[in-house]
Every structure is written in C-alpha cells, then in structure tokens.
A and B are shown apart, each in its own frame.
Chain A
Amino acid sequence: MSVLRELGESFVSFLRILGDMALFLLRLVMYTPRGLLRFRLVVHQVHNTGALSLVIIMISGLFVGMVLALQGFDLLARFNSEDALGTAAALALIKELGPVVTALLFAGRAGTALASEIGLMKATEQLSAMEMMAVDPMRRVVLPRFLGGVIAMPLLVAIFTAIGIFGAWLVGVVMMGVDAGSFWSQMQANVSGDEIFEGVFKSVVFGIAASLIAVYEGYRAWPTAEGVGRATTRTVVLTAVSVLILDYMITAALL
C-alpha cells in the first residue's frame, strides 16, 4: 500500500508543479508587452544567453555536421548514392539535430546560468529586497531572462544549422570528394520551406520550454546553497526530457 501511496503522492506533486509552471508562464506572457518596453534589460539577457553561447554552439554545430557527413557518406556509398549526402545532412540538421542539440546545449550553457543566478539572488535575499522596494522581481529579474532566452534560441538554432551544413560540406565535398554541384542541387531540390518552418517552429517551442524551466526552477529554488544546486540540476534534466518529448510530438504533428 505504501508504494501506491508514494506513487500517488509523487503524481500529485507532479501535477502541482505542472500547474504552477503553467500559471508562471501565463504571468510571464501577461507581463511580456510591458517587459519588452524595457528593452535594454532584454538586450542584456540576449547577450548573456545568446551571444555568450555562440562559441560552444558554433563548435558543436561544426562537428555535428562533420560527423553526420562522415556517417552519411559511409552509409550512402554502399548504395552508390553519395550525391544524396547534401540532402541527408541538411534535412537531418534542419529538422532534428539543429533544434534538439541546440536546446540541450542551451540547457547546459544558458539554462543552468539562469537558474543558478535567479536561485542565488533568492538565496541572498536580493529578490526580497526588491519586493521591499516595490520592484516586482518577476518583471525586473525573471521576465527579461525569459524573453532573452526565447529570442536567443531560434537564432542559435539557425546558426547551429548553418554551421552544421558547412561542416557537412567540408567533410563531404572537400574531404570525401562528393561532387559539389550535386551536393547543393540535391539539397535545394529536396529541402522545402515546410522543413525550414518545422525547424524554426521547433526552435521557438524549445526556446520557450527551456527558458521557462530555467527561470521557474531558479525562482522556486530553496534559498540555500543545496537548493540552488538542485535547481540547476533539475533545469538540465527537465529541459532535456521535455525537449525530447516535445520534439516527438511536434514531429508527429507536422509530418
């Protein structure tokens, strides 16, 4: 019986967190129009989450594209269809790897930073101090970070994907000798606007999910050193799992 009760309790607490997070998102969305007026704060956060993630995103994108081309070449060469390498690499990057890998990197690089920053502000009672000065920490601290993440994510995905295709070209065309003309023309013949849209749509959804989880975990963290640490860990785990689940759902819906 106690197992059942524990299961029920954890399910109830899961529902509570889910509901709390949904209400949190609703509040953020309601504050968004006025939050965008304080543009400088948002720009600062786009810099923190986006510009500072550039290097890791670009290096990862390059190598993901390169390994994709290497594996793809090996596989396609068995069917004598190396010419399809451009299509295979571009579709995989645009539709799946770009958004998903970027979201996972984003959780590790920017999500943890957001969660621990907000959590530490809470632990050191900076948020309470703001409330005492009649400054709403939701609007002053949480909202700009959330918006910064939401804006940065699609741009990061686009950069990751473009660099990835460059990496695939580097390995496929320059190293393995696939014909450059068919590499690009096959890609252009087979990639349509729908696929680009799928990638951009995914990146927007993942951006909202990853940023929401990060700021939520930070804001709801226990105000202790241990609590902040747990919030950071939970951010990465929750983001990874929810991004992968969302990815499946979006793919199934758009296919």
Chain B
Amino acid sequence: MSNRPSSRASTEQNGPSSTGGATTIKPVQVKLVLLGEAAVGKSSIVLRFVNGEFQDNKEPTIGAAFLTQKCKLDDKIIKFEIWDTAGQERFHSLAPMYYRNAQAAVVVYDITKSASLEKAKAWVKELQRQANPNIVIALVGNKLDLQANREVTSEEAEEYAKESGLLFLEASAKTGESVGEIFTDIGNTVFDLAKKIPLENLAQTRSRTGLNNQAGNGRVDLNSGPAEAQPGNCAC
C-alpha cells in the first residue's frame, strides 16, 4: 500500500497540531471500523467525534464512509482512520473489506433496542473469527440520552463484554457523553497491545486472515510507512 502523507487538515481536539509537531512526533495511524445494526448511531458517533456535531435523522450510510481524526494521548498523537460502515444487512458482505485490516473495531448497539445487542454480539463473533486476531473491540451502547426507553441494562451488556474480552462503554452521540472516551480507551489499548506484540507479527497474522482476497483489502495498513517508523512511539 502506498505510503501516503496525511492530507487532511484535521480538526484536532487536543494536543499540538500535527503540522507543528511533524518533525518531532509522527502520528500513529490506527485503522478503526464501526459495525452494528442499522440506525443504532454509528455515523452519529463518528460525526460527534470528528466534527463535534450531532444531526437528527442522518441518512443511512451506503457502503461505508471514511473519516479521520487525530487526538493526543499522553505524548503521542493518534490518527484514527475510521471506516463507518453501513448497518443494513445487505451491506454485510462488504464489511470484511473494511474490518479485515482494522486494528480496532467499535461495535455499536442501541440501548433502547435489545435486538441491536444481539446483532452486536454477532458482529463480535464474526470479528473474533475472521478479523485480525489482535483487533481491539469496543462494545458501545449508544443513545444514552434515551434512558427512559432503555431495553438493555448496563449490567447485561457489561457482563457480556467482560466475558468476551471487549472494552465497554455507554455513550450518547446526541449529547456527546462518553464519545471521546471510546476513542481514547481504544487508543490506549492499541498502544498497550503494541508493546506486547511486534508489529511484524501483527502484519503476518493480518495477511493470514484474508477471508475474501478480492482486491479490496483496506487501504489503511499499519505495516505501511508510518507504522514502520512508529514502534518506538507505541512502546512508550
């Protein structure tokens, strides 16, 4: 994959601007994928995280949307490259293309719809079976602002997350509550993981996962340029 310089003048939430620190700190790229049932709020979470906005009645995502966001974690800068996938079942077959090389996945459900947790569990299973075995998965219960209509208790979801070794959070894209934490938690976990597993190994396991070897292996690839330069950073 091409080693492509970051072209996005990112709206950074915290930390020094990447342009300023480009010579000293190179951002670590983390490819992240959002999965979950239709209309649970995947795009809204990303939109809140990237633009700090919330839009009622966002149109359904078709295929997948791509967004990036940088954020500072301690002394490091992470650049999240986010694939926001479509939740409708018919897009399912396209999902592997987006999660195949992802280092992190956010599996979203809607706390007001218990069926959406079941779908989330199915996604987790699929990821654990077919994605990068070291993928960091966060289970996120969205629509925390709709407490009154809650169908899924925190305990139930948390217990499942624990059993399956997932990060767990409840958040609200509408109010913005806990949205940033999703990404900082993931960032930290990815760094922790990188300390234990050499990136070369990650790359190998990744290439072995190929369930669909058709041309679409994700363009965001940790074994391309930045990653080679980053092991030191991650190990901090």
**A and B are interacting partners:** no
Q: Interface on A for B, CB 8 Å cutoff?
A: none
